[in-house]
Chains A and B, each alone.
Chain A
Amino acid sequence: MSTAVNNIPSPFELADQPLDSEMTLSMGPQHPSTHGVLRLDLRLDGELVVKAIPDIGYLHTGMEKLFEYKKYQQGIVITDRMDYLNPLGNNLVYVMAAEKLLNLEIPERAQVIRVLMCELQRIASHMVWLGTSALDLGAMSVFFFCFRQREKIMNLIEAASGGRMTPSYFRIGGLMMDLPAGFERRVRQFMEDFPEALDTFETLVTGNTIWQSRTQGVGVIDKDEAINWGLTGPCLRGSGVGLDLRRHNPYCGYETYDFDIPVETDGDCWARFRVRMRELTESHKIVRQALERLKPGPTKADAPKVVLPDRDDMRKHMDSLIHHFLIVAEGFNVPEGEVYMPIEASKGELGVYMKSNGGPKPDRVHFRGPSFVNLAALPVMSEGEMVADVVAIIGSLDIVLGEIDR
């Protein structure tokens, strides 16, 4: 088979007949404000964007193929690498899909810890979004303030799971392990400090007239268009649709938490910015409630054939040792069937379609990444805008290329 591959960016397909007044600009893949390796073919009339064509796939690593060759529990580590700013959300959706197929009951404590960690991760993810999107628009100091807060959350995640960017903390049937001693105190400390940081962000960006004029009225997408393009998460809520899967397709007991769904109606970059800023407060609220609910209890489901036994049990009980060996060496069989499991990740609806043929490896795993779908709507938002606003729009979409390209 031929391997003659030409990886030089293709001639701009839709710009085959350049007009006198139009030019094409290849933005990326190495452009800092494309948040990774995204290339945009921009067709410009002066400074106005006539057409924008996203070109993705530079980070494609065939993860969906890889899932089919890995046992269910081995797939968890792959999910960390997709949306690397929200790895716990990826872990969660993957293990919940497998748990749905296995019909596992997750103990209360594990559910609460999942909610707690996911909301902390959402704050961390939004911190990166705020820092980088402000950086794109020239506000450099915000970045450092945001990353200082993110660093605290990263330390918390590291304390719980041992990994910062790739925690793999949620396992099929529960958690990798219980929270370490003193973890709650550290979270409380963070929770105390965070509102002050939030005020700092508001002071730094919200009242800033440059920030306002760069985002207000830019990249507008109305309600019907947003639904038509499949936007979810803050992008959809910025267009006036109060959809939040934590409320409307609840999982992990989210229906019992008290939180609001921030909605803005303008549909521009400013609206998406406001929604995310208010979400930080809501996540803060949820973390606080989750902390109150943390009661001692088991963190793993009672399913010895699926969940790895405690090390201590393995030294005392022969059957635990056998189960451990079988799970690690052969994996566990998952009943035949297919599920679609959606959650509200920090960027929108993160869905996983998992199909099992009864064996220890999935037959098909497909990730519906919110970034992938949200990025597809970039052309409709940016056409007719100034070329400099494309940067603002990409920032407001909050994309992660690791998830888009998979």
Chain B
Amino acid sequence: MTEKLHEFVQKLKDDNASWIAEVKEAFGEVTIYVPGESIVDVCWALKTKHGFDMLADLCGADRGPEEDPRFEVNYHLFSTEHYNRLRLKVLLSEDAPNLPTVTTIWKTADWHERETYDLFGVIFDGHPDLRRILLPSDFDGHALRKDYPLRGYEPYSMN
């Protein structure tokens, strides 16, 4: 199952070796660690050359305030041609949680990136409409960060 995925990794490596920082395999899934600045190029190559034409999911994760790099952004790619799945992972530090948007490649990334911005504070440069999506526009902080308390800072009022 994963041999096929490693073929794609190899092809991607042949395209440009600097795109791949690390490759990990676990639980039958292959994760490619991609430097933040080349995520658009990698996604474009995977979409146009290797058939990963659908972005199934995009989500953030917080490793904790003392970790560096602190944030992870996961791109779950899927192909409607050969039905394989691939995970791309970008690591971001807390000081500069910026990475380029992939809305230019998949329109579905729009809401996923807004959600990741809303809940983690990851900023997607070039996103056409980077607003909060789930939480109110005047919400303080980013709720899914590990240092954000479960019940918030103060009782939320509806005035």
A3 at the interface (CB under 8 A from B): yes
Contact of B56 with A368 in the complex, beta carbons under 8 Å: yes
Enumerate B111-159 residues with CB–CB distance to A below 8 Å: 111-112, 119, 131-138, 140, 143-144, 148, 150, 153-159
Residues of the B chain whose Cβ atoms lie less than 8 Å from the Cβ of A189: none
Contact of B55 with A355 in the complex, beta carbons under 8 Å: no
- The docked-state distance in angstroms from the alpha carbon of A338 to that of B76 is 12
Contact of A376 with B110 in the complex, beta carbons under 8 Å: yes
Residues of the B chain whose Cβ atoms lie less than 8 Å from the Cβ of A65: 143-144, 148, 150
Residues of the B chain whose Cβ atoms lie less than 8 Å from the Cβ of A128: none
Comparing B12-20, B32-40, B57-65, B91-99, the segment that makes contact with chain A is B57-65
Enumerate A62-110 residues with CB–CB distance to B below 8 Å: 62, 64-66, 69, 100-101, 103
- B153 nearest in chain A by CB position: A1
Residues of the A chain whose Cβ atoms lie less than 8 Å from the Cβ of B70: none
Q: From known contacts A229-B108, A373-B108, infer whether A60 and B83 are also in contact, taking CB-CB under 8 Å.
A: no
Produce 1/0 per residue, A23-67, CB < 8 A to B: 000000000000000000000000000000000110010101110
Contact of A368 with B158 in the complex, beta carbons under 8 Å: no
A68 to chain B, nearest CB (A): 8
A177 at the interface (CB under 8 A from B): no
- B83 nearest in chain A by CB position: A248
Contact of B135 with A57 in the complex, beta carbons under 8 Å: yes
Enumerate A1-37 residues with CB–CB distance to B below 8 Å: 1-7, 10, 13
Contact of A56 with B134 in the complex, beta carbons under 8 Å: yes
A178 at the interface (CB under 8 A from B): no
B48 at the interface (CB under 8 A from A): no
Contact of B150 with A243 in the complex, beta carbons under 8 Å: no
Contact of A227 with B54 in the complex, beta carbons under 8 Å: yes
Contact of A342 among B56, B74, B111, B148 (CB under 8 A): B56
Residues of the B chain whose Cβ atoms lie less than 8 Å from the Cβ of A62: 143
B29 at the interface (CB under 8 A from A): yes
Residues of the A chain whose Cβ atoms lie less than 8 Å from the Cβ of B26: 337-338
Residues of the A chain whose Cβ atoms lie less than 8 Å from the Cβ of B56: 230, 232, 340, 342, 349, 351, 368
- B63 nearest in chain A by CB position: A363
- The docked-state distance in angstroms from the alpha carbon of A337 to that of B27 is 8
B47 to chain A, nearest CB (A): 10
Contact of B137 among A10, A229, A405 (CB under 8 A): A10
Residues of the A chain whose Cβ atoms lie less than 8 Å from the Cβ of B78: 342, 349
Q: Bin the interface of chain A by size.
A: 35 or more
- A339 nearest in chain B by CB position: B27
**B contact residues, total (Cβ < 8 Å):** 46
B114 to chain A, nearest CB (A): 9
A249 at the interface (CB under 8 A from B): yes
Contact of B108 among A3, A64, A228 (CB under 8 A): A228
Contact of A5 with B136 in the complex, beta carbons under 8 Å: yes
A171 at the interface (CB under 8 A from B): no
Contact of B110 with A353 in the complex, beta carbons under 8 Å: no
Residues of the B chain whose Cβ atoms lie less than 8 Å from the Cβ of A351: 56-57, 76
B107 at the interface (CB under 8 A from A): yes
Contact of A364 with B108 in the complex, beta carbons under 8 Å: no
- The docked-state distance in angstroms from the alpha carbon of A353 to that of B73 is 12
Contact of B57 with A340 in the complex, beta carbons under 8 Å: yes
Contact of B136 with A7 in the complex, beta carbons under 8 Å: yes
B139 to chain A, nearest CB (A): 8
- A405 nearest in chain B by CB position: B134
Q: From known contacts A3-B154, A64-B144, infer whether A368 and B57 are also in contact, taking CB-CB under 8 Å.
A: yes
Contact of B107 with A228 in the complex, beta carbons under 8 Å: yes
A143 at the interface (CB under 8 A from B): no
- The docked-state distance in angstroms from the alpha carbon of A365 to that of B27 is 17
Residues of the A chain whose Cβ atoms lie less than 8 Å from the Cβ of B54: 227, 230
Most buried by A among B31, B57, B119, B132: B57
- The docked-state distance in angstroms from the alpha carbon of A336 to that of B26 is 10
- The docked-state distance in angstroms from the alpha carbon of A5 to that of B157 is 7
Residues of the B chain whose Cβ atoms lie less than 8 Å from the Cβ of A5: 136, 138, 156-159
Residues of the B chain whose Cβ atoms lie less than 8 Å from the Cβ of A60: 134-135
Contact of B27 with A372 in the complex, beta carbons under 8 Å: no
A127 at the interface (CB under 8 A from B): no
- The docked-state distance in angstroms from the alpha carbon of A66 to that of B53 is 33
B11 at the interface (CB under 8 A from A): no
B50 at the interface (CB under 8 A from A): no
Contact of A3 with B29 in the complex, beta carbons under 8 Å: no
Contact of A366 with B111 in the complex, beta carbons under 8 Å: no
A276 at the interface (CB under 8 A from B): no
A374 to chain B, nearest CB (A): 10
List 7 additional A-B contacts (Cβ < 8 Å) besides A243-B80, A248-B83, A376-B107. Answer: A3-B156, A5-B156, A228-B106, A337-B27, A339-B27, A351-B76, A376-B110
Sorted from nearest, which 7 A-B pairs have the closest CB atoms? A230-B108, A368-B57, A366-B59, A248-B83, A57-B134, A376-B111, A60-B134
Q: List 15 A-B contacts (CB under 8 A).
A: A3-B154, A5-B136, A60-B134, A65-B148, A103-B27, A228-B106, A228-B108, A229-B107, A230-B56, A230-B106, A243-B80, A340-B76, A364-B59, A366-B61, A377-B107
